[in-house]
Amino acid sequence: MNHKAPKSRHRPLSQIRHLPRTGLLLGSRFAALTKFPIFILLTLVVHSVILFCAWVFYLLEWGHNNKLVSFIDALFWSVATVTTVGYGDIVPITFWGKVLAMFTMIFGSLCLVLYTAFFAGALIAPELNQVESKVKNMDDEVKEVTREIKSDEEIQKVLLNRIENLISKIDKGSRSS
């Protein structure tokens, strides 16, 4: 038996040509985020807290933690903890260092939620605007049709009145003859 594999219409490598367009789309959506002052403020606050936590971690752990050689180690720990990566190569060993680590982890989780919401909003905002525009256009069309129907009803009333008047004139004319 000679079995031939069915020809696939899907060519994974052909999808590569869409990557630049996708990259531009994501880049434009990310650029749209920078127009929101709250996103810029959130970014500044998060980066400030990361630096602050690194500085406090350095102060609390320096001299007690053999893994902490320089401030860059503390900054690495702070970034890894806030981003919830937590490599584990540098861990707090003092009581207050552990308390700071718990605060940093909770703060990182909250920031992750906020950033996810902002990114999701930026990704769907153009489509949402298009849908809102279409709904508004449809609403305007419904209002126009409603106005036309009311106008047609008024014309029907006028015509019915004229017909009734003509009928009554015809009835009066046929009674008088």
Q: List the domain range (segments joined by +) for residue 58.
A: 31-176
Angle between the N-to-C axes of helices 37-61 and 95-176, in degrees from 0 to 180, rounded to the nearest 10: 170
Angle between the N-to-C axes of helices 71-82 and 95-176, in degrees from 0 to 180, rounded to the nearest 10: 40
Encode pLDDT of 116-152 as tens digits.
887 777 777 777 778 888 888 888 888 888 888 888 8
User: pTM of whole model > 0.85?
Assistant: no
Average pLDDT over the chain, rounded to an integer: 80
Encode pLDDT of 12-60 as tens digits.
555 555 555 555 666 666 676 677 777 788 888 889 999 999 999 999 9
pLDDT of residue 66 exceeding 90, the answer is no
Q: 144-173 burial string, b = 16+ CB within 10 Å, else e?
A: eeeeeeeeeeeeeeeeeeeeeeeeeeeeee
Asked whether residue 88 is assigned to any structural domain, the reply reads yes
Q: What is the mean pLDDT of residues 93-109?
A: 92
| CATH number of the structural domain spanning residue 82 | 1.10.287.70
Question: Tokens 């490598």 correspond to what residue?
Answer: 13
pLDDT given at position 8: 54
Q: How confident is the model at residue 6 (pLDDT cuts 50, 70, 90)?
A: low
Asked whether residue 133 is assigned to any structural domain, the reply reads yes
Cα 103 to Cα 140: distance, rounded to the nearest angstrom? 52
Asked whether residue 75 is assigned to any structural domain, the reply reads yes
Total domain count for the chain?
Answer: 1
